Structure 1
Amino acid sequence: MVVFPGEFKDNYLKELLLAVILFCLPALILAHKFFQEDIASELVFFGLTFKNTLYDDQVMAYIFLLSLIPFMYMVFFFFHAKGIMRLTLLLPILWTVYDQSLSIFYMMEPINAYGKTLSFCLALIALYFLLKSFVPNLLTFKKLINLKRASKNLSSLVPIGIFCLLYCYNLIPDDLNVFFIGDIKIDSFLYRSFQVLFYLLGIKLSMLLLLLTWYFTEKKWWKYALLSPILITIYQLSTFFNTETDILDEYEIIRGFPFLVLIAVLLVALSKNAKDQYVVQSVYRKTSSQIEKLLEQRNQEHVNAILDTKRRLTDLKEQKATAHINDLMEIKKQLEHELGERT
Structure 2
Amino acid sequence: MLSLFLIATPFLFYIYKYAPADGKEWDTFFGLIDSGGFGSVQAYMHALFTKITFVSLTGIWFLTSNNWWKYAILVPLTMFLFQLSGVINYKIQYIDEFDFWYSLPAILPILFFLIYISYRISKRSISSDDLKKDVDEEIKKILSDDL
**What TM-score do you get using the length of structure 1 for normalisation?**
0.39
Deviation at 1:248, TM superposition (A): 1.3
Give 2:130's aligned residue. 283
Aligned length: 145
Superposition deviation, residue 162 in structure 1? 1.8
Unpaired segments ≥5 residues, structure 1:
1-153, 301-343
Cα distance between partner residues in 2 of 1:290 and 1:163: 52
Counterpart for residue 142 of structure 2: 295
TM superposition shift of 1:251? 1.0
- Indicate yes or no: 2:48 matched with 1:165: no
Per the alignment, residue 98 of structure 2 pairs with 251
State the Cα RMSD in Å.
2.3
Percent identity for Structure 1 against Structure 2? 26
In structure 2, the residue matched to 1:262 is 109
Task: Give the aligned partner of residue 23 of structure 2.
Answer: 176
Give the drift of 1:198: 0.9
Distance (Å, rounded) in 1 between the aligned partners of 2:26 and 2:145: 86
Q: Which residue of the partner structure matches residue 219 of structure 1? A: 66
Q: 1:297 to 1:269 in 2, by over 3 A?
A: same
Alpha-carbon distance in structure 2 between the residues aligned to 1:203 and 1:186? 16
Give 1:180 shift: 5.7
List alignment gaps of at least 5 residues for structure 2: none
* Alignment match of 2:120 (pick from 270, 273, 283): 273
Task: Give the structure with higher Rg (CA).
Answer: 1
Shift of 1:179: 4.3
Report the residue type matching 1:230 in the other structure: L
Contact residue 12 and residue 53 of structure 2 kept, 8 A = yes
Contact between 1:178 and 1:188, CA under 8 Å: does it hold in 2?
yes
**Amino acid corresponding to residue 164 of structure 1 in structure 2:** F
SS in 2 for 1:240: helix
Give the counterpart of 1:201 among 48, 53, 73.
48
Alpha-carbon contact 1:232-1:253 (below 8 Å) kept? yes
Please say if residues 177 and 187 of structure 1, whose CA atoms lie closer than 8 Å, have aligned partners that are also in contact. Answer: yes
Name the counterpart of 1:142.
Answer: none
Question: Normalised by the size of structure 2, how large is the TM-score?
Answer: 0.84
Opposite residue 274 of structure 1, the aligned amino acid is: I
Conserved 8 A contact 1:170-1:195: yes
C-alpha distance in structure 2 between counterparts of 1:219 and 1:277, whole Å = 20
